[in-house]
Amino acid sequence: MRKDTRDLPLCKMVYDGVYERTIVLDGKQVPTKEYDHWHHMQTRCKEPYWKSRPSYWGYSMSDYFSDYNNFAAWCKQQPFNTEVGFTLEKDIINVASGTKVYSEETCVFVPAQLNSFLTTKRKNVKVFTGVSFQKACGKYIVSCSQLNGKNKTLARVHCPIEGYQIYRQEKVRLAKLFSEQHGDKLDKRVMDILSNFSDYIDLFTVNPNNKE
């Protein structure tokens, strides 16, 4: 299992304009936090990744970000880059704006809790996110992960569309609550998205490649 990015060491400048990619830690060679972020962005911008995750098809990195040293220097200038519990969010602004470029304009550091909140398992969803059919009761179970990370059952319904509307309403409520609780540590663009999440939620929860 890949080491949590939040636990990785920050890079240092080796000499003018050149930053560490890996360091020796406890006798092992490990990537720096910045290099790990950059490496995974690169992975998402290549065809092999797109084949397994079609929603990322066509993603790319800006010319500036394509150079690791530029990316590392950018990270050093960002608010909350060194804040404990924060991680690089690469998708929220891209998804909300419809763009597919990782760049200095679309990447921000946010609380890891927000990253988890926005991450939904869309790939294998057969009906609607947050809705699953339970044979035992013959109904659709509606559930939504709360801000504390615990899953909460919201309702049992006969119609999956009704279930998704219940899930959707709860997710929008939680997004607004998160923005109110963490507004002083969120980029304005992220705040705007969370405060108006009803306008964006389907982009994060509905799998565009699911034809069923």
Q: What is the pLDDT of residue 80?
A: 86
**For 114-147, how does the pLDDT look when each residue is reduced to its tens digit (9 = 90+)?**
888 887 654 545 568 899 999 999 999 999 999 8
Q: How do residues 99-108 score in pLDDT, each as one tens digit?
A: 999 999 999 9
CA distance 22 to 82: 17
Higher pLDDT, 5 or 32: 32
Q: Is the pLDDT of residue 1 over 80?
A: no
Residue 211: band (very low, low, confident or very high) from pLDDT cuts 50, 70, 90: very low
Alpha carbons 210 and 160: distance in angstroms, whole number: 15
Query: Residues of the chain with pLDDT > 90: what percent?
Result: 67
Q: What is the pLDDT of residues 151-188, one digit of tens each?
A: 999 999 999 999 999 999 999 999 999 999 998 889 99
CB under 8 Å to 200, separation ≥6 — which residues?
95, 96, 193
Average pLDDT over residues 61-71: 97
Section 82-106 average pLDDT? 91
Helix (H) or strand (E) holding 74: helix 68-76
Q: At what angle do helices 188-195 and 160-182 cross, to 10 degrees?
A: 140
Distance CA 113, CA 129 (A): 19
DSSP calls for 103-120: STTT-EEEEHHHHHHH--
Mean pLDDT of all residues in 66-79: 96
Count other Cβ atoms within 10 Å, centred on residue 68: 18
Q: Would you state the structure tokens that stand for residue 177, as one six-digit string?
A: 């609550």
**Gap between the Cα atoms of 153 and 8, Å rounded:** 35
Nearest to 105 by CA among 168, 61, 39: 61
